[in-house]
Amino acid sequence: TNYDVVLNTSMQLQQLMVMYEAGIDHIQTKLEILNKEFEVKKNRNPIASISSRVKEPMSIMEKLQRKGYPVTMENLMTKIFDIAGVRITCPFISDIYDVANILLSHDDIHLIELKDYIKYPKENGYRSLHLVVDVEVFFSEQKKRIPVEIQIRTIAMDFWAALEHQMAYKQGFEIPAEIYNELRDCATVIANTDERMQRIANILPSFDKDASYNIIDS
Ligand code: 0O2
């Protein structure tokens, strides 16, 4: 009956959400350990903030439809990689690559996809490093690999993204060209400031200069 289908689907969805939450917890714990370790070992912390969310079912459906996929459990699991999302902000650009490389050096984390919107900013000025990884999580009956999208950006990039998200991104309508350009110009100013801050940091003797500005996937 229809009732059984609805019940079954909602149970499947609930189980999936538990899986994605476990994926997030896994990454979040790793980050909290790093955070604490940096607090005591180094004179400064490359992680400024960590936040996470599981994408709302409505938002998942919308994304599937936007990408032209039928809304099915199978597509949800295989076509959408940001159901579990973790966002990390860092003081400096070099910290972004440092944190990413540390995470990727863990052998229960596998890189699925990398989008470097810092080296290659989006047309609208959006900057961030996106990693889609899968993490191994043990459940009662099996071990599963859960995809998690990790966005790593500077505090300054996050400031722009948060405001632009409210004003323009996903507003559901074309924003006027002058606003689009104005926002892109703000992103350029912010990016220049990030680079200036990085240069200042690089001259300070206490600052670690080993950053690679690249992803080394082992
Ligand atoms: P929300 O509301 O933040 O969850 P793909 O087709 O998969 O390659 P996709 O999924 O758009 O493309 O991946 P991409 O480009 O890596 O972006 C995924 C997420 O990055 C978005 O999630 C946003 O969180 C963020 N993002 C990407 N572009 C922009 C942008 O121009 N402005 C802002 N503010 N954020 C951006 P969602 O699910 O689209 O949105």
ipTM over 0.90: yes
Give pLDDT, residue 140.
87
Q: Active-site residue 62, yes or no?
A: no
pLDDT (0 to 100) of residue 218: 60
Atom from ligand 1 closest to the CA of residue 85: 4
Q: Which of 149, 164, 178, 182 is catalytic?
A: 149
How far is ligand 1, taken at its centre, from the CA of residue 180, in Å?
17
Cα–Cα distance, 196 to 203 (Å, whole number): 11
- Relative orientation angle of helices 2-41 and 93-105, to the nearest 10 degrees: 110
pLDDT band at 81 (very low <50, low <70, confident <90, very high): very high
Phi, psi for residue 44 in degrees, rounded to 5: -150, 165
- Pairing status of strand 49-54 against strand 84-90: antiparallel
Q: Please tell me which residue, 157 or 217, carries the higher pLDDT value.
A: 157
CA of 121 to the centre of ligand 1 (A): 13
pTM of the complete model: 0.92
